[in-house]
């Protein structure tokens, strides 16, 4: 296996799928000459030319719509948003066109398109540029929603997303692009809708995705070394479709669960996970499920306040202590 960055894993996935299928093309702001705002598309313009790596104006609604139209006539567009915060300008095309066209056409017109780009908080980008939109898009029938946490998952899931005949919202962690990990040199894909047990444990299940997988690992290390509590980490990888079977199997084994997510608490991804657990594994629970989320406020610009707002390992450890009745109460 080669050790590469999350960024390079995405680049490999794009390159391989563009080589495999001439109908795949990339479109977005600065994806060509500048090679991507985060250099995910580095080298693709030279390899495939300006008809398949298309620089656009700063007009998310228009180029998202072009992508939807291209997908309707048989192409497989990959539409890059410089950040998912800017995708709010294109939400009509994502939600009202891409997500609904197959249904409204009576199954006649699929829309095989991937909308991808960085989401969530970075460092001091403040309220308008630090938002995690997983739950927004997962709410919409017709969309698949993917949020990989590692280079291995990023490559395998992006390849599957490009091959899927449904519109896929592919959310890349903005702080993950430099993360390194092992990626096979031979071709592989990861099916959409399959969670991954990142760490085995018997005492508590920590459900997470994207950037919070790293938070969960730090908390699990601390729980093991300080308290002897062995946490099982379940990385959702795909938010919709949700792998309920893997989540429930883990909870039935550990009898306790903490959910960690970057989004806000109200109507978040974790709320859906809690609902699935209480319907399928209520009698297996030895404590209520707890959630660790971003604070229910717009993201502050101040570095210290931003740090307090994001979910962190200390909060996860405290939540595990509560569900394990180790907090003294």
Residue 124: band (very low, low, confident or very high) from pLDDT cuts 50, 70, 90: confident
Q: What is the mean pLDDT of residues 13-17?
A: 98
Q: Return the domain boundaries, the chain.
A: 2-183, 196-323
Q: What is the mean pLDDT of residues 163-185?
A: 96
State residue 118's pLDDT score. Answer: 96
pLDDT digits (tens, 9 = 90+) for 197-253: 999 999 999 999 999 999 999 999 999 999 999 999 999 999 999 999 999 999 999
Class of domain 196-323: alpha beta
d(CA 281, CA 244): 11
What percent of the chain is modeled with pLDDT above 70? 99
Closest CA to 76 of 32, 36, 31, 111: 111
Q: What is the mean pLDDT of residues 310-324?
A: 97
Residue 220: how many other CB atoms lie within 10 Å: 24
- Topology alike, domains 2-183 and 196-323: yes
Q: What is the mean pLDDT of residues 15-38?
A: 97
H or E segment to which residue 224 belongs? helix 212-227
Residue 53: band (very low, low, confident or very high) from pLDDT cuts 50, 70, 90: very high
Residue 59: band (very low, low, confident or very high) from pLDDT cuts 50, 70, 90: very high
CA 233 to chain centre: 16
State residue 125's pLDDT score. Answer: 86
Supply 145's token pair. Answer: 């929603």
Residue 329: band (very low, low, confident or very high) from pLDDT cuts 50, 70, 90: low
| Homologous superfamily, domain 2-183 | Thiamin diphosphate (ThDP)-binding fold, Pyr/PP domains (3.40.50.970)
State residue 327's pLDDT score. Answer: 75
Q: Are strands 238-240 and 257-260 parallel, antiparallel or unpaired?
A: unpaired
> What average pLDDT does the structure give for the chain?
96
Whether 217 is catalytic: no
Maximum Cα–Cα distance across the chain: 64
- Selected catalytic residue, list 16, 129, 194, 276: 129
Check pLDDT > 90 for residue 280: yes
Closest CA to 148 of 63, 213, 86: 213
- Within 21-168, residue ranges assigned H as helices are 44-48, 60-72, 91, 101-104, 134-138, 151-163
- Selected catalytic residue, list 60, 80, 134, 261: 60
């Amino acid at each position: 296996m080669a050790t590469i960055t999350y960024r390079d894993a995405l680049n490999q996935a794009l390159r391989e799928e563009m080589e495999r299928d001439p109908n795949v093309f990339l479109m977005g702001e600065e994806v060509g000459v500048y090679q991507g705002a985060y250099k995910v598309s580095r080298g693709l313009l030279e390899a495939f030319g300006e008809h398949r790596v298309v620089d656009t104006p700063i007009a998310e609604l228009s180029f998202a719509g072009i992508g939807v139209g291209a997908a309707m006539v048989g192409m497989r567009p990959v539409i890059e948003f410089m950040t998912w915060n800017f995708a709010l300008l294109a939400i009509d095309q994502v939600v009202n066109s891409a997500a609904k066209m197959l249904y409204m056409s009576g199954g006649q017109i699929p829309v095989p398109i991937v909308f991808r780009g960085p989401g969530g908080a970075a460092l001091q980008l403040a309220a308008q540029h630090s938002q995690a939109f997983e739950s927004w898009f997962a709410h919409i029938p017709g969309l698949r929603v993917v949020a990989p946490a590692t280079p291995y998952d990023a490559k395998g899931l992006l390849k599957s997303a490009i091959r899927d005949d449904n519109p896929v919202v592919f959310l890349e962690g903005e702080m993950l692009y430099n993360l390194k990990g092992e990626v096979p040199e031979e071709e592989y894909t990861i099916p959409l809708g399959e969670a991954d047990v990142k760490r085995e444990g018997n005492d508590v299940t920590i459900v997470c995705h994207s950037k919070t997988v790293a938070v969960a690992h730090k908390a699990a290390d601390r729980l093991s070394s300080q308290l002897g509590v062995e946490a099982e980490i379940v990385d959702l990888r795909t938010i919709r479709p949700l792998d309920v079977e893997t989540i429930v199997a883990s909870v039935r084994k550990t009898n306790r669960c903490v959910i960690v997510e970057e989004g806000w608490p109200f109507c978040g991804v974790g709320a859906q996970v809690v609902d699935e657990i209480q319907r399928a594994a209520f009698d297996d629970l030895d404590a209520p499920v707890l959630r660790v989320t971003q604070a229910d406020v717009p993201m502050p610009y101040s570095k210290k306040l931003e740090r307090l707002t994001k979910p962190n390992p200390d909060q996860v450890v405290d939540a595990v202590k509560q569900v394990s009745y180790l907090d003294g109460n």
